[in-house]
A and B are shown apart, each in its own frame.
Chain A
Amino acid sequence: MYGLLTPLLGSLLVSTMAIPIVLIFSIPLVIVIVEYARGPLSRILDVIVDLTAGLPTIIFAYIGLAFLSNWLKYWVEKPLNRLLNFIPLFSCKPLTGQNIGTAALILAISTVPFTTALIREAYKMIPHSMVEALYSVGLYKEEVAYMKISMIKTAIVSAILFSTSRVLTETTIVSLLAGNQFIISSCIFTPMITIPSLIVNNFGYSTIYPLLDSVLFTSALILYAISLALNFAGLYLNKRLEVIAGG
């Protein structure tokens, strides 16, 4: 009756969808800002990224609701459903724009600047002597960038951990965009529920239904435990990095 498995799966699902998207866009952005942009442009981009990273997530949620869900529904999700509905991922008809796919996308968009900032710090910390050594063996800028990224793999993992923690605990975007239905399906256009949105939506009833408040509280604690574990793992990795870099 009060199964927590559904929202838990929903939370996990939305982050498994969002994080790869975040990585795909963050890493190239870091490379462009550090390697390709010249002096003042690089600094301006840094400021824009930092500014957007701290932007309140409710704003992302609202923009998502105002534009993306409708726009996405007509221009992306419906076509994908019509054309590719043999793939289970796209097999359901999107009724509203509010489904797990949209939520994951908006989550990804809001997390990219944050992750970019984290990875950028590690990327910039690679010692100059190392970079010079790389160039001196006759590598192209792109190959050097590739090597640098592989050097900071631990930092990238740590960034993933922090970002996942952030995505899992993000409330406003999922509440407004994920659809809030107790369904689990492999189709990304289904509305689903996550732990934060579970709490938000059922909060008002918690004084009426017996035991509901303890259920919500338990789920909140589960969330805390997961995010704590992720955060500490990220911090632990960062400590290891400090030792390696001799910092």
Chain B
Amino acid sequence: MVSLRFIKVLAIRLTVATLSIISLAVILLIHVSILVNGLRIALLNGFNLLTGTPPLPTESKPLGGVGPSLVGSLLTSGLAILISTPVSIILGFFLVEHRGSKFVGFVRAAFQSLYGLPTITISLIVYILLVIPMRTQSLLAGSISLLIVALPMELTYFENVFSNIPLTYKEAGYSIGLDRLGLLTRVVLGISKSGLASALTLTLARVMGETAPVLFTIGNALTSYPTSLFQPSSTITTLIFMLASSPFQVQFDFAWGAVLTLYLIYLFLFTASKLVRGVEL
């Protein structure tokens, strides 16, 4: 005689198992299809995938490259992280050292709200504040949008890393006559090196994968390499968006190549962030 309880337990086990298998299968399918289809386009194009320009609607095969957009991605994300990192380090240190004060609570709340800013709203704000006065979309505007995305994220990470440093090292630092700045540069940064590096790579990964913030701000220059910060450009993400909206099958198909490129960059940064965690400390 099988008890009701046992049936319940079995039912739970079955549902949980089935649902998770479905989830995992879907997840796996996603990764596999990116790799398989992306590889197809990559093999067709070889190295030119990284340097060429996207195929015209009239072409018969998806031959081309993501060159200009790749450069645009690297430049905008790089610039955003370049500015965001030192600011977040100083701000994060400041927030941790002055933990109790009301002003600090206010600053932290301000950044939390920045964190919740929808990326599409960021795009609109930067458009109104920068693109319209400049009368053009530009790499600079795109970088600023990404900067707004990166700052609250890095700040949260860094503050977390800094607050995890054991008090005793900070005491030791002060006791040998370091002032606040000295403590930051000579002790705090050194001790939290790997945590900071991991946070930085994660933020970089996130920022490179963003589409909405740059959609209106960076422009639509898919076929020419950027020559100045003040000119329009594109990122891999906007490229994919454009190709995906294209009515021409050859362009739509080519998007797999761009997807693979973005995927590999993301994979690289993700792995880097995990490795850095373990090695340096």
Interface of A toward B, CB cutoff 8 Å: 24-26, 28-29, 31-32, 45, 47-52, 54-63, 65-67, 109, 112-113, 116, 140, 142-143, 145-146, 165, 168-169, 171-172, 175-176, 196, 199-200, 203, 213, 216-217, 220-221, 223-224, 227-228, 230-232, 235
Contact = CB atoms under 8 A, between A and B. Distances in A.
A32 B118 contact: no
A67 B33 contact: yes
A175 B211 CA distance: 11
Contact of B259 (A29, A59, A176, A228): A59
A29 B266 contact: no
A116 B227 CA distance: 43
B19 A196 contact: no
B9 interface: yes
A50 to B, nearest CB: 8
Contact of A142 (B12, B23, B128): B12
26 contacts: A24-B19, A25-B19, A28-B16, A28-B19, A54-B206, A56-B208, A56-B262, A57-B209, A58-B237, A59-B34, A59-B240, A59-B263, A62-B255, A109-B26, A112-B23, A142-B12, A142-B13, A143-B9, A169-B119, A172-B237, A175-B241, A199-B120, A203-B216, A213-B128, A220-B120, A235-B112
Interface of B: 9, 12-13, 15-17, 19-20, 22-24, 26-27, 30-31, 33-34, 37, 112-113, 115-121, 124-125, 128, 202, 205-206, 208-212, 215-216, 237, 240-241, 244-245, 252, 255-256, 259, 262-263, 266-267, 270, 274
Contact of A58 (B125, B206, B211, B252): B211
Given A172-B241, A231-B115, 14 more contacts: A28-B17, A32-B16, A48-B27, A58-B244, A65-B252, A66-B255, A145-B12, A146-B12, A171-B118, A196-B118, A199-B124, A200-B215, A224-B116, A228-B116
A16 to B, nearest CB: 18
B116 A231 contact: yes
